[in-house]
Each structure stands twice: as C-alpha cells, then as structure tokens.
C-alpha cells in the first residue's frame, strides 16, 4: 500500500515532466551556484490508523549548492505539526498531536543534465537521497483517551529518530536567480517519531512546493576574436618596386588509361545483370569515348542444350547492352556477341561459364 501511494504520487508529479533542452545564451556560468529555498505542503505518516485523518501541514527550509551540472548537496529542515494514533482499540479517541522537526543532509542528482548534458534546461528533474535526524516534542494526547492508554502505548517526552529519505523534485527556472519546485519524498523513521512504544519503523510521505533563490554565479568568459593583420611582403614595407611575376601555365594532367575488364556471373536460367557493375562499365565508357566496349555472352555446357544455351547467352548480352544504353553509352561504342556454350572461358569451372565478359578493345 505504501509503495503504491508513493508510485502514484510520483506518476502524477513527474510522469509528464520532460527534460526540455532549451539552449539559452547566458552571460554567466550556470554551474556551480549556491541556493536557499522555502517550501510548504503536507505530510502523511503511514500507521495502523486511517491515513487520511493524519494529514498535517508541512513547512521547510533548505540551503545548499550545485557543485557540477549533475551533483549537488543541501541541508534541509522541515516539520512543525504532526499527529498520530496510539492504537486501533481506542478508536475513535486515540489521536495524539505533537510538534517535530527533521534535519537532513541530502545528495542531489540532476537527471536532466545527466542524460542530456551540455544544454541549459528550463525544467530540471532531481533525484534526492539523504539521511538525518528527527526530533519530536510537545506531545498532546486526545482529551478523551481512556485513562492509562497514554502511558501504556505512547511516549510522553521528547524523542529522537533516524530519518532516511529518497525522493524526486521538478524544478522550473523562471530567471537567473529564481526557480520554483515541486518535491515528493518518502521518509523512513522509527516508531518513536510517532510517540509510540513500538520498535519497528514507519514511513512518511511528504509533498511540497517551494521557491528557490540561486546565487554565486560566475561570469562567462567573453569570446576571444582573433585580430588578423594584413600580410605585407618585405618589398612593400621597404617601398621597393617589385617586378611582376609571370604566371606559368600548369601542365595538362594526363590521365592514365586503365583497360576495361568486368565479368558478370549468373545463376541457372538467370539473365538479369548486376546494376552496380553496369554503372561501373558505363562510367568507364564515358571516360574513354574513343574505345569500344566488347560484350561477350556465354552459357555453361553442363546444363541445357546447345539451342537453349545460345538463347540464354543472347538474352544476357542483350540485357547488358540495353543497360549500358540506358546509362548513356552510345550504341556505336558497343560491340556484342553471344557464343552460347560453344566457347567456355572457364573450362575448369563449369558454373562460371554462365557469364558475360565486358572488356575494351
């Protein structure tokens, strides 16, 4: 039940809180900085009594610092009013009122900067974890509690208890120095915090809103703009006449000729050429318009008949030629021949003879 209530509060307050990375130009460094804050809200301690009847107002103050964009710490104090129940057997006259204050040293982790570094965020989500001490005093039992119940089931003096805390906070930056926040914490305390004589621990859920003042920002360094002086040669500085330099015409670049030799291999009954090889052949033909592209088609002798193999080799040649023409190679630059299975360019490897060989003259 306790975990469900905490998860519900987390979903309501932080489920829709996104980490917006809004880059804003600033004349100061956003980290490190110090801060002080005030908060107000409500708390509820989980006991064997009706939880909703134990909700009381809550006030808090905090002072701390963010040392890096991700890690910070704070000292916090919160509390004042609380009430609890002695034991269910005294219903309904079993409520007790008292005052308390909790002091904690908390570690702050900025999840927005941890997951989206290098940006200035308008919304910042913080993970909070801490430990401290709770002090309770001014115990006031219900006036109608049966005689002896107070001494049997509750403490009547001042009490101390440990306090372990985990929580989440969403901070919204309004200006350089000001921000508002929403915080939900789950605290673990000893039952003596509730003035009880039990020796187990209770859980306390707190929810607060507050305002934070930030200070101690350092000025951002101004960007250094390099000054480039005009370049002067020695002759200009000495007022010496300089003869014009004759510009030399660069020698023409002679491209080295690379002969063409590409082989397209096919499966049985296949005649579709590989597009990437056709692209390569077409590029070569455009760079060497004076050369002839020789397209030779073949079929393997181990499958089919002489007639069928001639048809396949012709189909393969035709599709290669058509592909080259579509890529801008002039028909006059292409010479194509189909050999069927009469010629085997790879006599030792039968399957390789299902091919088209493209080369230059």
Q: Which residue has the tokens 């430990």?
A: 131
pLDDT at 277 over 50: yes
Question: Domains in the chain, start-ordered, CATH in brackets?
Answer: 2-219 (2.40.160.20), 261-360 (3.30.1330.60)
User: Which tokens in the block code for residue 66?
Assistant: 């963010």
Examine the pLDDT at 227 and tell me if it is beyond 50: yes
pLDDT (tens digit per residue) in 133-180: 988 887 776 666 665 555 555 666 677 888 999 999 999 999 889 999
**322 vs 119, more confident:** 322
For residue 11, say if its preceding peptide bond is cis, omega within 30 degrees of 0: no
- Choose among 82, 135, 81, 68: nearest CA to 104: 135
pTM passes above 0.85: no
pLDDT digits (tens, 9 = 90+) for 176-203: 899 999 999 999 887 766 666 566 777 8
Residue 239's pLDDT band, with cuts at 50, 70 and 90, is: low
Least confident of 17-26, 150-159, 314-323, 335-344: 17-26
Q: How many Å apart are CA 144 and CA 164, to the nearest integer?
A: 34
Residue 276 has pLDDT above 60, yes or no: yes
Is 70 exceeded by the pLDDT of residue 287? yes
Question: What is the reported pLDDT for 233?
Answer: 59
Cα distance between residue 305 and residue 111, in whole Å: 74
- Helix and strand totals (H; E) in the chain: 6, 14
Binned at pLDDT 50, 70 and 90, residue 322 comes out as very high
Question: Please, which residues bridge with residue 274 across strands?
Answer: none
Residue 14 has pLDDT above 60, yes or no: no
Residue that wins the pLDDT comparison between 360 and 27: 360
pLDDT at res. 72:
95
b/e burial code for range 155-172 (CB count within 10 A of at least 16 → b): beeebebebebebbbbbe
Q: Write the CB contacts of 209 (distance below 8 Å, at least 6 apart in sequence).
A: 39, 40, 41, 180, 181, 182, 183
């Amino acid at each position: 039940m306790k975990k469900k209530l905490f998860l519900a509060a987390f979903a309501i307050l932080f489920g829709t809180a996104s980490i917006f990375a809004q880059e804003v130009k600033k004349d100061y460094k956003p980290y490190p900085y110090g801060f002080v804050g005030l908060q107000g809200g409500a708390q509820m301690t989980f006991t064997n009594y009706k939880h909703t009847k134990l909700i009381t107002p809550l006030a808090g103050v905090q002072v701390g610092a963010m040392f890096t964009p991700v890690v910070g710490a704070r000292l916090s104090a919160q509390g004042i009013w609380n009430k609890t129940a002695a034991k269910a057997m005294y219903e309904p006259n079993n409520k007790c009122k008292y005052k308390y204050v909790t002091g904690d040293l908390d570690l702050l982790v900025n999840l927005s900067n941890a997951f989206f570094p290098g940006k200035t965020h308008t919304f910042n989500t913080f993970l909070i974890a801490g430990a401290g001490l709770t002090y309770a005093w001014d115990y006031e039992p219900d006036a109608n509690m049966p005689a002896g119940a107070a001494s049997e089931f509750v403490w009547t003096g001042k009490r101390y208890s440990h306090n372990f805390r985990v929580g989440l906070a969403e901070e919204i930056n309004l200006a350089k120095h000001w921000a508002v926040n929403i915080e939900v914490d789950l605290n673990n305390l000893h039952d003596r915090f509730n003035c009880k004589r039990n020796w187990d621990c209770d859980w306390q859920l707190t929810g607060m809103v507050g305002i934070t003042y930030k200070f101690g920002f350092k000025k951002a360094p101004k960007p250094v703009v390099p000054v480039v002086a005009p370049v002067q040669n020695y002759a200009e500085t000495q007022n010496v006449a300089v003869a014009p330099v004759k510009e030399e015409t660069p020698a023409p670049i002679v491209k080295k000729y690379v002969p063409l030799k590409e082989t397209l291999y096919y499966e049985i009954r296949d005649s579709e050429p590989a597009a990437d090889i056709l692209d390569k052949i077409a590029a070569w033909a455009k760079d060497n318009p004076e050369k002839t592209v020789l397209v030779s088609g073949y079929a393997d002798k181990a499958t089919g008949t002489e007639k069928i193999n001639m048809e396949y080799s012709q189909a393969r040649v035709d599709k290669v030629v058509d592909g080259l023409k579509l890529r801008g190679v002039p028909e006059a630059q292409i010479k194509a021949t189909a050999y069927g299975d009469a010629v085997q360019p790879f006599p030792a490897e039968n399957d390789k003879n299902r091919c088209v060989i493209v080369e230059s003259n």
